Amino acid sequence: MSRVPPMANDLPANPPQHFIRQIVAADRAAGKHGGAVVTRFPPEPNGYLHLGHAKSICLNFGIAVENSGRCHLRFDDTNPAREDPEYVQAIQDDVHWLGFTWDTLRHASDYFAVFYLGAEKLIRLSLAYVDDLDAEQMRAYRGTLTEPGRDSPFRARGVEENLDLFRRMRAGEFADGSRTLRAKIDMSAGNINLRDPAIYRIRKVTHQNTGDVWPIYPMYDYAHCVSDAVEGITHSLCTLEFEDHRPLYDWFLRQLDLPGDPALTAPLREKGQWLPPSTPQQIEFARGNISYTVMSKRKLLALVQDRLVDGWDDPRMPTLSGLRRRGYTPEAIRAFWERIGISKQNSSIDLGVLEACVREDLDARAPRRLAVLDPLKLVIDNLPDAHIETLQFANHPKDAAQGVRSVPFARTLWIEREDFMQQPVKGFHRLVPDGEVRLRGVGIVRCTRVLADAQGTITALHCTLDHDTRHGMPGAERKVKGTIHWVSAAHAIAAEVRLYDRLFNVPDPDDDSNGKTYRDHLNPDSRHVLRGYLEPGAANTAPGTFFQFERLGYFIADCRDHAAAQPVFNRIVTLRDVWAQRQAP
């Protein structure tokens, strides 16, 4: 079944309530913002999006869809030294893949002229000044959580001097890092974010969107709230680490008063980009922390740069591009975050919950196919050497609408090596010497002979088929305890099969309390590459097609490397949670 990126029109009709949905519903009922709901997803294009970003995407776009509003995709491109057009495109691809769209693509850099005019307004109001302290000195003057900060010796500069210096910063007269524009708030504030935070810094770096027009760039705390206001955002949803920044967010908006000062947004009206400004409300929620992963962009970038993985889209990575290549579906990711819900309490979510969502989604719609990954030859002696027949198998046992397919059956087959045990242990119900097992869709066979090489490795099994147990025969209902799958050795297609597992082998790879780092917890068994055999109907398929290989798990034809002549399949997820079994007492 090939995949087309779905649009998220399958959001639950009656979604479970959480505090953000309740706030938005109350605001609409009270007529706040005229009943409008406008949200935004504002990623910085300095890396690929990961599962944590998916939570924010689903929340921001979902709230807008539920309330007949709109959600803006806006790139927070205020730090050009770390940004790249590759990331800009990847982010758009990921948001679209998750099932969401936007009306107009926005950038914080679209509002650079507004930010600049707003900064000059703060200077004229004696609420901002140019500081000559370097970064280390500013940290020393800022104080600590228990000690107040100290005024910069440049804090008392007059309005005209500050305007002159700031305009010369804009003109590119000063070296990088030599001067900073700071807000003048309160150096003794208990909230360190209010101790004269930086608004602008000098960075003579080419910007991926504006080129070399600007030698100064705004800081995030300033640019973010102004962007929200300019775009008419009503509810600015962000993660809990920004809760202490909210007083600064509100301070900037009060001082600038964008809805009441049309001069600040004049550059946008001149370019036809104007939207009625708003006074947005910042609302914080807990991040999406997931076990067995790291979701620091810095650490993910290090994994890529140090070649510990095969790139941002390595199927073991928690990036959305990696999960897409692995075969995770957008429907499963949306269902996962809906199931987890939104709260103010930080916690770690078991990765097994996400894997369960993927299983549920694929179980309902993934066509079934036969594949053998660790082959052992099985010969049915009481069939003629040239015996070939075609059997009919349902594509899906619970969905007749998916139809049937033809599968070749012959005298010599491949079965899974683990489906035979020469000295069986208690509870083993598959094939054993002189034992019986049902071949899926064929009938019951008995093992009559076992062949091995000089090292004792079993090379082949010889069996006889009880013809009376074949479909439609009187003995077809005869019971045996085990059923195994197979593929015809003469017809099977060889394929490269990549068995992916969790990238880390401990629940919290970020925990460095024992002196180890996340690198020490990389799972050496996170990928195994095998040569398997597939029924012909599984091989001749398009990249991105997923199947359940019966009894083995869910697999997808790799979007990069798969071709009908040289099939490559990635394991998406096993049929059951093997990690829970490992950790069971």
pLDDT of residue 368: 97
Distance, CA of 157 to CA of 533 (rounded, Å): 77
Is residue 501 domain-shared with residue 354, that is, in the same domain?
Answer: yes
Q: Is 44 a catalytic residue?
A: yes
Average pLDDT over residues 539-568: 94
pLDDT of residue 209: 87
pLDDT digits (tens, 9 = 90+) for 278-294: 899 999 999 989 999 99
Decide which of 466, 485, 504 is a domain's last residue: 485
pLDDT of residue 120: 98
Please state the φ and ψ torsions of residue 306, each to the nearest 5 degrees. Answer: -90, 10
pLDDT band (50, 70, 90) for residue 205: very high
Is residue 295 domain-shared with residue 350, that is, in the same domain?
Answer: yes
Q: Is residue 35 part of a domain?
A: no
Is residue 473 domain-shared with residue 410, that is, in the same domain?
Answer: yes
Is residue 358 domain-shared with residue 501, that is, in the same domain?
Answer: yes
Structural domain range at position 433? 371-485
Per the annotation, where are the binding residues for L-glutamine? 76, 220
CA 214 to chain CA centroid, Å, is: 33
96: buried, middle or exposed (CB in 10 Å: 19+, 13-18, 0-12)? middle
CATH number at residue 335: 2.40.240.10
Contacts with 517 (C-beta within 8 Å, 6 or more apart), sequence order: none
pLDDT digits (tens, 9 = 90+) for 304-317: 999 999 999 999 99
Q: Classify residue 35 by its DSSP letter.
A: G
pLDDT of residue 276: 83
Residue with tokens 């093992």: 447
Residue 17 predicted with pLDDT over 80: yes
Residue 13 predicted with pLDDT over 80: no
Is residue 380 domain-shared with residue 521, that is, in the same domain?
Answer: no
Instruction: Determine how β-strand 281-285 pairs with β-strand 289-290.
Output: unpaired
Q: Is residue 266 part of a domain?
A: no
Decide which of 485, 510, 542 is a domain's last residue: 485
Q: Is residue 419 part of a domain?
A: yes
pLDDT of residue 513: 87
Contacts with 150 (C-beta within 8 Å, 6 or more apart), sequence order: 141, 143, 187
pLDDT band (50, 70, 90) for residue 380: very high
Is residue 449 domain-shared with residue 478, that is, in the same domain?
Answer: yes
HEC letters along 418-476: HHECCCCCCCCCCECCCCEEEECCCEEEEEEEEEECCCCCEEEEEEEEEHHHCCCCCCC
Q: Classify residue 359 by its DSSP letter.
A: H
pLDDT of residue 16: 81
- C-beta separation of 217 from 79 below 8 A: yes
Is residue 474 domain-shared with residue 384, that is, in the same domain?
Answer: yes
Is residue 472 domain-shared with residue 328, that is, in the same domain?
Answer: no
Is residue 362 domain-shared with residue 500, that is, in the same domain?
Answer: yes
Please name which of 79, 198, 30 lies closest in space to residue 130, comparing C-alpha atoms: 198
Is residue 528 domain-shared with residue 554, that is, in the same domain?
Answer: yes
pLDDT of residue 580: 67
**DSSP-assigned letters across all residues of 136-175:** HHHHHHH--SSS-----TTTT--HHHHHHHHHHHHHT-S-
- Compute the mean pLDDT over every residue in the chain, rounded to the nearest whole number: 93
pLDDT band (50, 70, 90) for residue 3: very low
* Active-site entry in 74, 246, 297, 571: 297
Q: Is residue 453 part of a domain?
A: yes
Q: Is residue 478 part of a domain?
A: yes
Structure tokens at 387: 């015996």
Its sign, for the CA torsion 121, 126, 127, 128, is positive
Q: Is residue 458 part of a domain?
A: yes
Residue with tokens 């921001």: 60
Q: Is residue 409 part of a domain?
A: yes
Residue 583 predicted with pLDDT over 60: no
Rounded to 10 deg, the angle between the 246-256 and 112-124 helix axes is: 80
* Active-site entry in 287, 377, 440, 446: 287
Q: Is 204 a catalytic residue?
A: no
Distance, CA of 227 to CA of 249 (rounded, Å): 11
Residue 5 predicted with pLDDT over 50: no
Is residue 470 domain-shared with residue 558, that is, in the same domain?
Answer: no
pLDDT digits (tens, 9 = 90+) for 475-489: 888 899 999 999 999
Amino acid (one-letter) located at 46: N
Please state the φ and ψ torsions of residue 276, each to the nearest 5 degrees. Answer: -60, 120
pLDDT of residue 154: 98
pLDDT band (50, 70, 90) for residue 346: confident
What is the number of domains present in the chain? 2
Please name which of 464, 469, 430 lies closest in space to residue 446, comparing C-alpha atoms: 464
pLDDT of residue 4: 41
pLDDT of residue 272: 83
pLDDT of residue 105: 92
Residue 341 predicted with pLDDT over 60: yes
Q: Is 573 helix (H, G, I), strand (E, B) or coil?
A: strand
Q: Where are the beta strands (DSSP E) in 143-234?
A: 180-183, 198-202, 216-218
Is residue 379 domain-shared with residue 364, that is, in the same domain?
Answer: no
Please name which of 467, 420, 464 lies closest in space to residue 443, comparing C-alpha atoms: 467
Please name which of 235, 243, 292 lies closest in space to residue 67, comparing C-alpha atoms: 235
Tell me the CA distances in angstroms from 102 to 5, 99, 304, one per residue in order. 15, 11, 30
pLDDT band (50, 70, 90) for residue 10: low
Per the annotation, where are the binding residues for ATP? 44-46, 50-56, 239, 295-297
Decide which of 467, 485, 503 is a domain's last residue: 485
Structure tokens at 356: 């369960």
Per the annotation, where are the binding residues? 44-46, 50-56, 76, 220, 239, 295-297
* Active-site entry in 44, 161, 243, 496: 44
Q: Is residue 502 part of a domain?
A: yes
Q: Is 139 a catalytic residue?
A: no
